[in-house]
């Protein structure tokens, strides 16, 4: 269950979606299927890298990832694309989703602090964005099977 802090003195924490651990990692434009979430506290300058356990989920990766972010007390999310299910969680909790970050996680944080990124007010990605299509069910297979071998 997703909960919001109610003590009134909510500390600002930033989350950046990334391809790896730490501030030198590249920003990953995918939200639900990014490799890592980098949590940054501007007040203490502390950094925490969390592996996204939902990146390979067959479905619902965005919702599960949104719950991780919400439960971590994040105020601002810097990413590329957020689908409708995850966005509804962020909107409900007042988490500011900003897009347009490029470069490393540290550069994205600096872009945010300089006001160079853009807040979104609705989802900007379709469900399933970032899923890799494999061979098989309509994913590029040869279409063989069910024939009689003639």
- pLDDT per residue over 7-61, tens digit each? 445 679 999 999 999 999 999 999 999 999 999 999 999 999 999 998 988 888 9
Q: According to the model, what pLDDT value does residue 124 have?
A: 86
Q: What is the pTM of this model?
A: 0.77
Q: Of 1, 14, 121, 28, whose CA–CA distance to 73 is shortest? A: 14
With residue 36 as reference, give the H or E element that holds it: strand 36-41
Residue spans of the domains in the chain: they are 14-119
Distance of CA 141 to the CA centre of its chain: 30
Domain 14-119 has CATH 3.30.420.130: yes
Helix (H, G, I), strand (E, B) or coil at 130: coil
Phi and psi, residue 68, nearest 5°: -60, -45
Tell me the average pLDDT across 49-78: 93
Give dist(CA 39, CA 17) in Å, integer: 9
With residue 97 as reference, give the H or E element that holds it: strand 96-99
Q: Of 15, 112, 108, 123, whose CA–CA distance to 70 is shortest? A: 15
Q: Report whether pLDDT(137) > 50.
A: no
Q: According to the model, what pLDDT value does residue 125 have?
A: 72
Q: According to the model, what pLDDT value does residue 10 have?
A: 62
Q: Report whether pLDDT(133) > 60.
A: no
């Amino acid at each position: 269950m997703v909960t919001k802090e109610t003590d009134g003195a909510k500390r600002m924490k930033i989350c950046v979606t990334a391809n790896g651990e730490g501030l030198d990692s590249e920003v990953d434009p995918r939200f639900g299927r990014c490799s890592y979430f980098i949590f940054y506290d501007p007040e203490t300058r502390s950094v925490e890298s969390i592996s996204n356990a939902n990146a390979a989920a067959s479905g619902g990766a965005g919702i599960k990832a949104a719950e991780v972010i919400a439960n971590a007390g994040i105020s601002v999310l810097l990413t590329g694309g957020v689908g409708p299910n995850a966005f509804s969680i962020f909107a409900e909790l007042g988490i500011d989703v900003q897009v347009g970050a490029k470069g490393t996680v540290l550069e994205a944080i600096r872009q945010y602090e300089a006001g160079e990124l853009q807040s979104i007010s609705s989802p900007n990605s379709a469900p399933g964005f970032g899923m890799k299509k494999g061979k098989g069910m309509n994913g590029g297979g040869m279409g063989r099977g069910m024939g009689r071998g003639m």
